[in-house]
Amino acid sequence: MTGGLLRMKRRNWLVVGLIAVGALLVGCAQAAPERGESPVEVQAIPGSSVSRIILTREAEGRIGLQTAAVQQNSSMPLAALVYDRQGDTWVYTVAGPLTYVRQHVTVARVTGDTVVLRTGPPPGTTVVTVGAAELLGSEYGVAGE
């Protein structure tokens, strides 16, 4: 597959993910006014280009968030990868309860549904495998209404 075609496919997946985020956050936003609480809080991390994403328990449940640990051989589920607007690869790591931070990764190879990282979080780090696109949309400010 050529580099241009691969970048286009990545952008298409990013667009699909961002649309899904908007749809899911609309549902969260509709429930939030009763409690006076936003379903997601985005906090800037000083000195970093990424933000900390904090979800309510309800928002985490609505997006069906799931996680897995990076294995000893630096492998993890392919589903954990997300792509930014430039086509760079990232994962969301679990930074605490209901708290997620995006971390840049470099892919060494993909085999089936598994990716082996050249650079990224160390083995044992928990990464988001379902719901990462929704976190990315929240971080980029995709409106839910």
Kindly report, residue by residue over 92-121, the tens digit of the pLDDT.
999 999 999 999 999 999 999 999 999 999
pLDDT of residue 24: 47
Query: Using an 8 Å Cβ cutoff, are 67 and 129 in contact?
Result: yes
**Three-state SS annotation for 54-104:** EECHHHHHHHCCEEEECCCCCEEEHHHCEECCCCCEEEEEEEECCEEEEEE
- Map out the domains of the chain with their CATH numbers: 3-140 (2.40.420.20)
Residues forming beta bridges with residue 43, ordered by sequence position: 52
CA distance 115 to 132: 16
Whole-model pTM: value is 0.75
Q: Has residue 1 got a pLDDT over 70? A: no
Q: Has residue 123 got a pLDDT over 90? A: yes
pLDDT of residue 142: 78
Q: Has residue 23 got a pLDDT over 70? A: no
Which residue has 């580099």 as its token pair? Answer: 3
Q: How far apart are the first and last CA of the chain?
A: 37
